[in-house]
Homo-oligomer: A and B are copies of this chain.
Amino acid sequence: MHRIPYQELFDTLLRVLQKLGFESERARLCARLFADASRDGVYSHGLNRFPRFVLQIQNGTINIHAEPELVAACGSLERWDGKLGPGPLNAYQCMERAIALSKKHGTGCVALANTTHWMRGGNFGWQAADAGVIGICWTNTLPNLPPWGASDPRVGNNPLIIAVPRPAGHVVLDMAVSQFSYGALASYRMRGELLPVDGGFDTKGQLTRDPAEIEASKRPLPIGYWKGSGLALMLDLVGALLSGGKATHQITSDPDRESYLSQVFIALDPSSVGTPEVAARIADEIIAYFKLPPHSGGEQVRYPGEQVLKIRSENLAKGIPVEPTIWSKVQAM
């Protein structure tokens, strides 16, 4: 595996973004968000996704100069228009705004319409936790998941992020509502492995662990079957209603032009009604119990975000793993 220092990855992304015309500070933040995703092991939405991000700038899907604009506000709830600016920058700014609202009002919610792909959603959960507040955010996506009972994609594989600050290591859930993403299915297929559990339907309509069959049927499973199907719908509904923006059924199914997404950023500040010390103690106790050694050997229980910190530390020490072809491509940009 090829590894490069974080700084080299960041500098390269920064150079390309500046060359594309990004204003200096925005280029720095955008490069950092991509580099952080790779640093934390979310390779699919870090460097590996950068070429498509550049393509979306070149094909006019993303307007690199657009900044989100406040459309309506009522106390701790605000509606913003993303104006098809770069998704990671729009999302970062809206989570910053939700955090600021929560520090003033206890809670803050920013609903963002007309944005583009935010890449790694977890970034914005870590952002809230780093600011000492609970962060909850999600996005809708293009239609790529059949709801339970249907065979054609009518909901999005909408990711939901819930982040809780903890001085000893934030707890951050970053999950999409399908059991396996198409990226994960491709990885299993290329390694010649079956999925560990059923991941979707085969072309005959039977549940299967064969990733290639699911890629062929285009019928991945929502988590919890009917439950994840319902959850996907609710995330789309709440996002579109609050932002006044578009819903999954209105978003192009061409991933190279995915745009007009609706997102929600919620921040809740526990320190506004309690003390950070008590909150930290409660979180530590919950995690300690969750990770109790098992009665019998061989078990491994991980809390959400635990693996991220381990990979982050390893990648900062040894360098960030990169796909040589993608790395060369980005270096040549």
B-chain residues with CB within 8 Å of residue A273 when the two chains form the complex: 71-74, 77-79, 111, 242, 244
Q: Tell me the chain A residues, 208-243 only, with Cβ under 8 Å from chain B.
A: 223-228, 230-231, 233-234, 236-238, 240-242
Q: B304 contacts A238, CB within 8 Å?
A: no
Q: B301 contacts A149, CB within 8 Å?
A: yes
**Chain B residue at minimal CB-CB distance from A73:** B273
| Contact indicator per residue, chain A 258-271, by CB within 8 Å of chain B (1) or not (0) | 00000000101110
Q: Tell me the chain A residues, 274-305 only, with Cβ under 8 Å from chain B.
A: 274, 278-279, 282-283, 285-286, 289-290, 292, 294-296, 299-304
B-chain residues with CB within 8 Å of residue A300 when the two chains form the complex: 149
Copies of this polypeptide in the complex: 2
Q: B238 contacts A268, CB within 8 Å?
A: yes
Q: State how many angstroms separate the Cβ of A296 from the closest Cβ of chain B.
A: 7
Q: B74 contacts A272, CB within 8 Å?
A: yes
Q: A154 contacts B76, CB within 8 Å?
A: no
Report how far A76 CA is from B269 CA in the complex, Å: 11
Q: State how many angstroms separate the Cβ of A281 from the closest Cβ of chain B.
A: 10
Out of B73, B154, B197, B269, which one reaches A207, CB within 8 Å?
B197
**Chain B residue at minimal CB-CB distance from A147:** B301
Report how far A301 CA is from B230 CA in the complex, Å: 10
B-chain residues with CB within 8 Å of residue A285 when the two chains form the complex: 247, 249
B-chain residues with CB within 8 Å of residue A227 when the two chains form the complex: 175, 179, 223
Q: B179 contacts A224, CB within 8 Å?
A: yes
A91 on interface, CB distance cutoff 8 Å: no
Known: A147-B301, A303-B230. A164 touches B238 (CB 8 A): yes
Report how far A306 CA is from B12 CA in the complex, Å: 51
Report how far A223 CA is from B155 CA in the complex, Å: 18
A33 on interface, CB distance cutoff 8 Å: no
**Chain B residue at minimal CB-CB distance from A72:** B273
A151 on interface, CB distance cutoff 8 Å: yes
- Given A75-B272, A105-B107, A223-B228, 19 further pairs, Cβ under 8 A: A74-B105, A77-B269, A105-B105, A107-B108, A107-B109, A107-B266, A111-B273, A147-B290, A151-B296, A164-B237, A179-B225, A179-B227, A223-B227, A236-B286, A237-B282, A237-B283, A237-B286, A241-B274, A248-B289
Chain A residues packing against B (C-beta within 8 Å) = 71-79, 102, 104-109, 111, 134, 147-152, 154-155, 162, 164, 171, 173, 175, 179, 197-198, 207, 223-228, 230-231, 233-234, 236-238, 240-242, 244, 247-249, 266, 268-270, 272-274, 278-279, 282-283, 285-286, 289-290, 292, 294-296, 299-304
Closest 9 CB pairs of A and B: A77-B106, A223-B224, A75-B105, A74-B272, A74-B106, A249-B289, A72-B273, A230-B304, A79-B273
